[in-house]
Structure 1
Amino acid sequence: MTFPDGLPDNCPLPAAVSCSGMIYMVSLNNPVHEQDCLSQAERGRAIDATGDNACIRHGLSVFPDFASCSHQQSLFPRLGKYIAIARLDPRHGKILQTPAKCNPLHMTWWPCKDVERNLLFSMAEV
């Protein structure tokens, strides 16, 4: 697997596994735009993060089910009003459960370099 340039050492995190199955993500746009699929690092945010957090900032926040994604959306409405779903497989990268205080089911997805992230997503049906 080839990942985007600029990832910190040991990133994706060593415990990350090959993608497999459905993920959910909060999106500002319908359909999902390329900008909706940028990591915090790609947006120039949290560049002072260290350790595992530095690596996590290079991945995308995703969730294993609609309910946990909807919970995140309710906590942080600025993230967007849409919930998108994608089916990932090993060619799409690596993923790891990275629990957050407010959302224990939070996951981080590190997409492979040439994955057109936004094209994988469609709007989730409630």
Structure 2
Amino acid sequence: MTISKQMDNEKLPLEICNSHINSVKDALYVLSGKWKLPLIVALMNGPGRFKDIQRSLNDITPKMLSKELRELELNDLVQRKVFNTVPVSITYELTPYSQTVLPIIQALGDWGKQHRKKLIEERRIEALKQA
């Protein structure tokens, strides 16, 4: 039985429901926050240096970027590469495992577009009613 059964108004057994809750909590633990998903998207075009990533994300502070990169690295989504150059060069890139997150990002993006369109349309209709 899957969580989609709930859409059919069919109740899920408690242990399956709890399992889904725990799985979502695990995913949110890894991906939650304002910057993790945008950071992954920023690295989709290839490796980036710290300052380049920071520029692409606009408002992120160096401290927050460092924290988010470290957490993504701990969860095997980002790899830090140090090059023995003068000065030392460091780049960050997505790991092969990060590919498993891309369908989630695509689905969130699709939903975000749909949601924005829905809100704009509802507000447009409401404005027409009031006019």
- TM-score, scaled to structure 2: 0.23
Which has a greater percent of helix? 2
The structure having more radius of gyration, on CA atoms, is: 2
Which has a greater percent of strand? 1
- TM-score, scaled to structure 1: 0.24
